Amino acid sequence: DVKVTQSSRYLVKRTGEKVFLECVQDMDHENMFWYRQDPGLGLRLIYFSYDVKMKEKGDIPEGYSVSREKKERFSLILESASTNQTSMYLCASTTGGWENTEAFFGQGTRLTVV
Amino acid sequence: GDSVTQMEGPVTLSEEAFLTINCTYTATGYPSLFWYVQYPGEGLQLLLKATKADDKGSNKGFEATYRKETTSFHLEKGSVQVSDSAVYFCALSEAVGNRDDKIIFGKGTRLHILP
């Protein structure tokens, strides 16, 4: 069974902390994505990556960075967490290539910044 | 740029009612269209998809037809169940070169089914 796994379901961090959200996929997918989900705003793309060590900004990259050192792992980094980054974070992956294939999602990480 | 617009919720229906959730899109090329579902406390999972005009996607009693002339991909189900209560997202994606373009999601529609 294909899987995208996020390292934590729930996290509570303090303002100013550096926060790492980890995502691992076991499908040998080329593309990986980080979204945040907020009530009334749907899913907003933070960053995505279509290859190892490659990254592209999404719609709301400010305050975030990412790392993709290995194909299966895509990390989201909050350099200095703030309360407005309290949200549900979703990681996803797709195969890449000419076909428009479905995205596979992790279970989500609910981050609270206090 | 590409975009997806879906009806706002929440939508509340009684069990066995007919469901329609509207979705329209704008795209420059020939996207694939998707409906994803998010059950409480979980990530999104694919419900159905259609890759070209006039294709019909179906799964678990849900259906949606890719209408290029009206740029729509409305989700329908003839008789909903309490277990269908979830948030539904319409989405599109277009492959660009040798990699997928980013996936564009609608804002989601929360569905409540009353027993």
Per-residue pLDDT of chain B (115 residues), as tens digits, is 788 999 988 999 999 999 999 999 998 878 899 999 999 888 899 999 998 899 999 999 999 999 999 999 999 999 999 999 999 999 998 765 545 567 889 999 999 999 9
- Whole-number pLDDT of residue A95: 81
Place of tokens 């999404």: A58
Coil, strand, or helix at residue B67? strand
Question: Are A97 and A30 contacting, i.e. CB atoms less than 8 angstroms apart?
Answer: yes
Q: What letter would DSSP give residue B113?
A: E
- Other CB atoms within 10 Å distance of the CB of residue A95: 17
- CB-nearest to B32 from A41, A51, A100 is A100
Q: Which residue type occupies B20?
A: T
Q: Tell me whether residues A90 and B34 touch, CB distance under 8 A.
A: no
Is the pLDDT at A62 greater than 80? The verdict is yes
- Whole-number pLDDT of residue B97: 52
- Whole-number pLDDT of residue A91: 96
Is the pLDDT at A10 greater than 90? The verdict is yes
Please name the residue of chain B whose CA is at the shortest distance from the CA of residue A58. B102
Q: What is the pLDDT of residues A11-49, one digit of tens each?
A: 999 999 999 999 999 999 889 999 999 988 889 999 999
Indicate which of A100, A109, A110 best probes the interface with B, i.e. most B CBs within 10 Å of its own CB: A100
Nearest partner of B85 among B24, B17, B4, B22, judged by Cα: B17
Nearest partner of B11 among B109, B88, B114, judged by Cα: B109
pLDDT more than 70, % of chain A: 94
From chain B, pick out residues whose CB is under 8 angstroms from the CB of A102.
Answer: 34, 46, 49
- Whole-number pLDDT of residue A99: 62
